[in-house]
Amino acid sequence: MVDQARARKIASRIREIIAADLGQIVKDPDLGFVTITDVRVTGDLQDASVFYTVYGDDDQRVTSSEILQRNVGKLRSHVGGRLGIRLTPTLELIPDGLPESASHLDDVLRKARERDAQLAAAASGASYAAGEDPYKRPAEDDEADARD
């Protein structure tokens, strides 16, 4: 039976452990500014997917990815010592696609703002086709009936 709450707690704890101690475990000056964005643990608590981002250019991302892959055993040992459960999950380090999707969203939002500005500029000189208020009001109907 899978305990999803326990898996979420362990995933959260793994994220905290790796994020707090990454610089102490991986003692490599070429390691870039790495942020642990998410950790997902399988229901049987055997495997953990660790998602991370690296601040910097593509060369920095590649270098940091290689360094992290070389040190995945150290990370797993450290997590196992600090986690306090019988079996330590295997760690799979996955670069997070967050920066790419965020830049795509920025482009979409920029285009939407430009389109909104164009529509606002076009609407500023526009006038109503049937006058300000083309609908009859009940009070006007009563006055028209009274005049007849």
What is the reported pLDDT for 40? 92
56: number of Cβ within 10 Å: 13
Q: Rounded to 5 degrees, what are φ and ψ at 96? A: -80, 135
What is the reported pLDDT for 119? 86
Q: pTM for the complete prediction? A: 0.64
What is the reported pLDDT for 95? 87
pLDDT band at 146 (very low <50, low <70, confident <90, very high): low
Angle at 104 between CA 98 and CA 106, to 5 degrees: 100
What is the reported pLDDT for 97? 74
Domains of the chain in sequence order: 4-96 (3.30.300.20)
Q: Rounded to 5 degrees, what are φ and ψ at 41? A: -110, 140
pLDDT per residue over 81-113, tens digit each?
888 888 888 888 888 876 667 777 888 888 999
Give me the count of residues in the chain. Answer: 148
